[in-house]
Amino acid sequence: MLGKRGAGDDGQQAKKKRRLAGPVEPLNALVHLNKLRPGAQFKLVSQVGPVHSPLFVMEVEVNQQLFQGSGNSKKLAKLRAAELALKSFLQFPDASEAHQLLGRGFLPATADFTSDADVSSSGACRSLFSDFSGGGGTGAGDLNNAGGGDALQQRILSSKPGDKNPVMVLNEIHRGVKYDLLGEVGEKHFKLFNMKVTVGSREFTGSGRSKKVAKYNAALTALKVLHGISQFRSRVNEEKALGGQEPQVVADHMAQLVLTKFGELTNNLSSPHARRKVLAGIVMTTGHEGDSGQVICLATGTKCINGEYLSASGQAVNDCHAEVLCRRLLVKFLYQQLKMFLPNLSPVVSILEPQPDGRGFRLKDGVKFHLYISTSPCGDCRIFSPHDAKTDEGRTPNQISDKHPNRRARGLLRTKIESGEGTIPVRVEGTIQTWDGVLQGERLLTMSCSDKLTRWNVLGLQGALLHQYLPPVYLSSIVVGSWYHSEHMMRGVYGRVAPSLDARLGQSGQSEFRLNRPFLSGVSSPEGRQAGKTPNFSVNWCVGYEGLEVINPTTGKTEKELPSQLTKQAMFRDFLSLYGKIPALDASQGVLDAPK
């Protein structure tokens, strides 16, 4: 017996030893209400719904007011009713949360958190808000001048910046911020949530693959706009900002515009044609006050035409990669704008204007085009590992430089593979690709998207035919939704040709072409990797279209086996509709007589 009793005692001691003392858990709203208003009675108002999923409504009377809460259980309904009751006479329904926001840790069980003297005499409270203008508090409406200096940012983030996220910091600076879910788009397995945070009289939005990420991005936007706190920036190439705004805010906004428009065109992503691997879109800004940008075109796709379906008359689309289709859609849009200047047409507001010398046209001042791609373009921009080892500072691959810039794989021209995905380097000594060779079975090679972006940054987006009427049109920014690496992206779209082209274009002096260096950026909430089979269709849309046009990438034609609106033949038809009817840039460079 003694032996057993001793063994039992040892077991109890071991049990006690395994208990670790931890912080006191914060009390919920129901407990706080019972402490502040002892005897508050809850009563069941109603119970609706099936047996397996009931909905209870509980009611409590506090200060001669009735508060109701609902939930899937009586306990949850009582808790929500208590929260509403507390909000009616307390600023913080959760007292422990209030003390944490004031930097005082959890509320002791014996503390009187309703005492005015306790809060007003708090040194943490005074130190937190002493940076606001004049030492006296600011109203919720005057937020632009509140804590704009570096002192506030340093005070909040200096101790342990890695332990605080934007939501925590925003709550420390502004009490009573409110988060609301604006909506969610997408299918069950691929949803995008939009959250709004209200700070005083101003509202800021954020999006993400979960509500938590969307809330994080909304708070991040608010901090950057109101206080210039950029402690959390991670995927921005800070070469230059757009329009004086915070670069990351602008990049996230461009991405959000394209994603929202795609959701509208696909019936909240419920359409069968909403399936995609890559989404790209072009946003146009005019520089006018209040202009937040307009999506003028978007497309999806990752495949190229099969060699046996090549068309000698230009009735098939050879490359159905999303960013390539977007460039063709932009050309289509520019043709639409030029047709507004045809004779006998009533004047319409256009983004173009005649050149001062009367020859050709040009973009109006302030008009810019911004390209969004949901993932880095294939080719040289994408040849890296997204999970390379991080540096000692904990920076991600998006922030670190290329450790092996002189590798042979860097800066190479690459081609897409027929009937497959990915790219391979161009063989300098390789044989020339011929039409009959492709028809006989030789694999068709198509220029990679990285190489095409480099070409567009030199020659412009408009193409040879449209150049008869417009000077080169360049992108102002490129925003990448995932797999963004600033060093590889910069090299892939213009850096690899900069040394030679800068010298050549500088020597000519008279050339209207230049090496364009667009603003490059990732997004705050990158898309996740979408494993699965690539859709066997590609969709595109442009301003003026009634709906989405669906193309079969294998044949280069629509689902009804008709030529697309983006074929070479269709583009040439648009050119002929203008030729000889509106002034060209230089008649000596084009055809003098209109075709009969």
Residue holding tokens 């008279």? Answer: 510
Euclidean distance between the first and the last CA atom of the chain, given in angstroms as a whole number = 117
Burial of 60: CB neighbours in 10 Å, binned 0-12, 13-18, 19+: buried
What are the backbone angles phi and psi of residue 369, rounded to the nearest 5°? Answer: -120, 135
Q: Is-contact 359 586, C-beta < 8 A? A: yes
Q: Where are the beta strands (DSSP E) in 378-505?
A: 414-417, 423-425, 445-447, 477-480
DSSP structure class, residue 228: -
SS3 427: coil
At position 591, the amino acid (one-letter code) is V
Tokens of 550: 């669906």
**Count of alpha carbons within 13 Å of 381, Cβ hemisphere only?**
28
What are the backbone angles phi and psi of residue 412, rounded to the nearest 5°? Answer: -80, 150
**Count of alpha carbons within 13 Å of 119, Cβ hemisphere only?**
16
Helices (H) and strands (E) in the chain, counts: 17, 19
Residue holding tokens 């904990």? Answer: 394
User: Helix 486-493 vs helix 449-459: angle between axes, to the nearest 10 degrees?
Assistant: 60
Q: Is-contact 69 84, C-beta < 8 A? A: yes
Q: How many CB atoms neighbour CB 34 within 10 A? A: 13
Q: Which of 110, 83, 85, 114 lies closest to 98, judged by CA?
A: 114
Distance, CA of 511 to CA of 523 (rounded, Å): 35
Question: Which residues does the annotation mark as catalytic?
Answer: 323
Q: Are strands 414-417 and 294-300 parallel, antiparallel or unpaired?
A: unpaired
**Strand order across the 294-300 sheet:** 519-521, 477-480, 368-373, 279-285, 294-300, 538-542, 549-552, 557-558
Q: Is-contact 169 486, C-beta < 8 A? A: no
Distance, CA of 218 to CA of 196 (rounded, Å): 6
Q: Are strands 55-62 and 42-48 parallel, antiparallel or unpaired?
A: antiparallel
In sign, the C-alpha dihedral spanning 547, 550, 556, 557 is: negative
* Residue environment code for 344-370, b if the CB has 16+ CB neighbours within 10 A, otherwise e: eeeeeeebbeeeeeeebbbbeeebbbb
Distance, CA of 251 to CA of 257 (rounded, Å): 10
SS3 307: helix
What are the backbone angles phi and psi of residue 312, rounded to the nearest 5°? Answer: -75, -20
What are the backbone angles phi and psi of residue 199, rounded to the nearest 5°? Answer: -120, 105
Distance, CA of 87 to CA of 424 (rounded, Å): 62
